[in-house]
Structure 1
Amino acid sequence: MSSKPSDSPSLPPIVEPTTRRSFMLGALSAGGALALRSSLAQGAVSGGPNGASPLPGGLDPKLFALHSRVPLTLETLRSSFGMGVVTPVSRFFVRNNLPMPTEQIVADPETWTLEVEGVRAARSMTLAELKTLGVATLSTVIQCSGNGRAFFEHGPSGSPWQVGASGCAIWTGLPVRLLIEALGGPVSRARFLTGTGGEKLPEGIDPLDLMVERSVPLEKGLLDCLLAWEMNGEPLPLTHGGPLRLIVPGYYGCNQIKYIRKLACTAQESPAKIQQTGYRMRPVGHTASPEQPSLWRMPVTSWLQGPNGQDAPLAPGRVILHGVAFSGERRIDRIEFSQDDGKSWREADWIGPEIGSGAWQQFTVSIDLPAGRHRLVTRATDAAGDTQPAERIENERGYGNTAWTDLALAVVVGQANQRSKKPVAAPDLSQSAPPPQTAAPIDLSPQGEAGQALFLEAEPSCGACHSLAATGSQGTLGPNLDQLKPDEARIIGALNQGVGVMPSYRERLSPEQIRDLARFVVEATAKKP
């Protein structure tokens, strides 16, 4: 392997300032990994009428796989990453637990207000005021904790990501440490840094059930966390948490709070469901609990980005493969490549520049490939000696998949590419606010009738977040169920497992009630088994 060039340009993790670094069935729309795995994960989002892009921020639908529109969930296609170390905003994956706020909040970003609590001089500060305390720049990977979920065989609920729920960006903002110091330091007994998102919550539902509020160790928060207002040198867009986002280098995306409204030094982790039982590593079939490991630091991983001949077969002969490797906030020491499923390995070549320990590192492999189909894998070893594993850790929600056997690149050389078949069209969920619905008479089975009552009476109520003509509900947090038409298995899976901010209903409803509720939604949307 070529050694890393010592004279390559390098940015430090933090540049110090000169003065001193789904809901409920939204889950279902992102769920159904088995059903969507072979279509959305391989094909781009279809355009709107007359080919117009239906995506916010001018995003090109051909670059992404759509997993849900409400909340917006877009996966960068493997072939769309490009070869640069920084992922452009235009190609960066999008993941939301709740519907995005309106564009009004980024129209005048300087007036955005952050409440700071758990410090000796607690107060609210505008973004304009935050900018007077200092500025720093860092580079880090943002990755959804479910990246690689599509490869789990038990079909966990949630978006069936392959490798595209990840991206590397340069973030500019105020180091959390400087903010806390300016306000007198944390209060005694504070052990966590807790961030709260500014998404609008529906009335009549316990905010703790839905709010996006996560806690990380305070030591981490004061070490390198950032309140970012720029991404890749541009004002932070709404799709990525603008006007202000908490960046936690080396940690999973669920901790990088978008539209951050409150930052607090707290003695305990957040009581919100997304912290207490969401994003926990638990065995398959087990109920989530606060005692299970929280998804904080990202472990070592790598994969090849391309080329893979997805659009047209590659020509036989010399091919330069390119990929990325990262490991939380650690640097990568070694990257290896295999074309025989790990029977033998050779070292890959680094390409620069290194832009920070939290960023991913680029590598290439130059190889001669004959005509045919090839399966190519990589494995990385970080500065602490941790090596990327061959097997994934089986868990209920399909989190943290770094198995090199799963993240393999399939390459087609010199023959027709059967994988380039036109993907099955995704349901059109382009309306973020569905039109008013009126209850429509439907024929229900006894099981469906029991489920109808549960739809209206369960806590939280399904109708508070979803639109369904059969009940007259007009919720906008989750997708329009009449448009989505989820099947019974998807509904039952999401109700049992929970997704993102959506709590599991396993302890709120009996297995029979969950089946009744699923049967009602299927019958109400006229999707018969």
Structure 2
Amino acid sequence: MKKVESSTVRANLITRSLIPENKETPIQFLKDDNVSDKLFYRRNHFSYPNFLTSFYYLPIEGFVYSSKTFSLEEILTFPPKTLKVVLECAGDKRDLFKPKVFGEQWEKGAISHGSWKGVPLRTLLQFTGLHADAKEIVVEGYDVGERTDSNEIVHFSRSLPLEKALDSNTIIAYEYNGYPIPFKHGYPLRLIVPGWYAMASVKWIKRIKVIDKKFKGPFQSVDYVYYPHEDNNNESFPVTTINVNSTIQKPLDMQILNTGIHEIKGIAWTGVGKITKVDISLDNGATWNACQFTSSTENYAWTHWSYIWEIKEQGEHTILIKATDSEGNVQPEKPMWNRKGYGYNAIERIKVKIE
């Protein structure tokens, strides 16, 4: 039998659904900051769109002083900006909610990270101007399909308040990790909204429209809303900023280890500010020790951390991890349960067995 060389072994995305394609990243295999497009998680509401990129133009219209249509070539001439950004699905870790909630049962891999290059949205809006009555910026994608709750045919569309849309770090991206954005991740243009859950980063941008009222599209007013109560919509509010969070990449949950020295490692991220501390507990939260950062800490980017654990006691052990950001946000002991299962960020917890 022919020996399989280790170099031929490749990690694959974990399939959650095929139509539309939803696959998560095998988070334990990620070592670098720039996740390859082959391991970048995929989140879709509809099938992939069909459109002619050779005749691609981006119109900006609505409550502006002068509507304008940009060619892709023109957009490429503007001064660019490159940002390292975490993109996390709002449903990341949905599988961990108790009681369970309906929806794609994402585990810990609906998250990826890389470098996005593009032009600030506000640069394009300078050419059109904003009417005094302008309230929100709606970005519509080419992806379109039928909603199961209404049987309505809709494009995936989201809006941003003016403050976020005009932030210099909100960009219309055309490159990922130094190459044109892969088609499955939004080619040729994708909105990147750093610090917000990834539903805001609309793929395959079709048009941008400035409106004078609150956007009521279903992916804004029905989905991507926190519903704290199971049987009513009271106290609901929109999903926006990424919660402070962390994940253990090594060891795996329920893994069997030998006594000795082990490296515990993982990533931490947040939507506001940057990660300032990651703590670990090996005694069910009675005491906590600081982990070491093994990468830089930056706004919008994830941070790698590690901890060296010397263990001589056999048996079952629980490992807890919690992250803190520069705004003082700390992972809570329990998540904020909500009916659609968004924003899970409870203290990371795994079990291992020492033999």
Normalised to the residue count of structure 1, the TM-score between the two structures is: 0.61
The answer on 1:97 being equivalent to 2:45 is yes
Write the distance in 1 (CA, Å) between the matches of 2:125 and 2:190: 16
Write the distance in 2 (CA, Å) between the matches of 1:412 and 1:267: 58
Amino acid at match of 1:362: H
Choose which of 48, 56, 60 in structure 2 pairs with 1:116.
60
Provide closer, same or farther for how the CA distance between residues 366 and 234 of structure 1 changes in structure 2, counting only shifts above 3 A: same
Amino acid at match of 1:78: I
Write the distance in 1 (CA, Å) between the matches of 2:233 and 2:46: 21
| Gapped regions of structure 2 (runs ≥ 5) | 1-8
Once the two structures are superposed, residues 289-337 of structure 1 have per-residue CA deviations (whole angstroms, 9 ceiling, x without a partner) of 8x73111111211121113287x74443111121111110311121111
Give the C-alpha shift of residue 176 in structure 1: 0.6
Write the distance in 2 (CA, Å) between the matches of 1:345 and 1:283: 30
Asked if the contact 2:272/2:327 (under 8 Å) is kept, the reply is: no
Structure with the larger strand share: 2
Report the aligned-residue RMSD.
2.5
Amino acid at match of 1:367: W
Asked if the contact 1:214/1:269 (under 8 Å) is kept, the reply is: no
Asked if the contact 2:35/2:113 (under 8 Å) is kept, the reply is: yes
Asked if the contact 2:317/2:352 (under 8 Å) is kept, the reply is: yes
Write the distance in 2 (CA, Å) between the matches of 1:151 and 1:295: 18
Give the C-alpha shift of residue 287 in structure 1: 4.6
Aligned-partner SS, 2:272:
coil
Asked if the contact 2:244/2:330 (under 8 Å) is kept, the reply is: yes
Write the distance in 2 (CA, Å) between the matches of 1:198 and 1:207: 18
Amino acid at match of 1:303: T
Write the distance in 2 (CA, Å) between the matches of 1:140 and 1:213: 21
Asked if the contact 1:269/1:275 (under 8 Å) is kept, the reply is: no
Amino acid at match of 2:88: Q
Give the C-alpha shift of residue 96 in structure 1: 0.5
Write the distance in 1 (CA, Å) between the matches of 2:52 and 2:349: 41
The answer on 1:69 being equivalent to 2:14 is no
The answer on 1:321 being equivalent to 2:264 is yes
Where do residues 428-443 of structure 1 align in structure 2 (5 Å cutoff)? none
Choose which of 122, 137, 145 in structure 2 pairs with 1:193.
137
Where do residues 126-525 of structure 1 align in structure 2 (5 Å cutoff)? 126-183=71-128, 185-201=129-145, 210-223=154-167, 224-288=169-233, 292-308=236-252, 313-354=256-297, 356-370=298-312, 371-404=314-347, 407-414=348-355
Provide closer, same or farther for how the CA distance between residues 207 and 358 of structure 1 changes in structure 2, counting only shifts above 3 A: farther
Asked if the contact 1:375/1:411 (under 8 Å) is kept, the reply is: yes
Q: Which has the higher contact order (CA 8 A, sep 6+)?
A: 1
Amino acid at match of 1:222: L
Write the distance in 2 (CA, Å) between the matches of 1:397 and 1:159: 10
Provide closer, same or farther for how the CA distance between residues 409 and 238 of structure 1 changes in structure 2, counting only shifts above 3 A: farther
Give the C-alpha shift of residue 360 in structure 1: 0.9
Give the C-alpha shift of residue 372 in structure 1: 4.2
Asked if the contact 1:216/1:296 (under 8 Å) is kept, the reply is: no
Aligned counterpart, 1:496: none
Write the distance in 1 (CA, Å) between the matches of 2:210 and 2:152: 18
Give the C-alpha shift of residue 170 in structure 1: 0.7
Give the C-alpha shift of residue 207 in structure 1: 9.3
Amino acid at match of 1:410: K
Choose which of 36, 41, 44 in structure 2 pairs with 1:88.
36
Aligned counterpart, 2:3: none
Asked if the contact 2:47/2:145 (under 8 Å) is kept, the reply is: no
Write the distance in 2 (CA, Å) between the matches of 1:92 and 1:342: 33
Asked if the contact 1:208/1:271 (under 8 Å) is kept, the reply is: no
Aligned counterpart, 1:523: none
Give the C-alpha shift of residue 169 in structure 1: 1.3
Normalised to the residue count of structure 2, the TM-score between the two structures is: 0.89
Write the distance in 1 (CA, Å) between the matches of 2:56 and 2:123: 19
Write the distance in 2 (CA, Å) between the matches of 1:269 and 1:143: 25
Which has the higher Rg, Structure 1 or Structure 2?
A: 1
Write the distance in 2 (CA, Å) between the matches of 1:128 and 1:333: 40
Amino acid at match of 1:79: Q
Question: How many equivalent pairs are there?
Answer: 343
Aligned-partner SS, 1:212:
strand
Once the two structures are superposed, residues 428-461 of structure 1 have per-residue CA deviations (whole angstroms, 9 ceiling, x without a partner) of xxxxxxxxxxxxxxxxxxxxxxxxxxxxxxxxxx
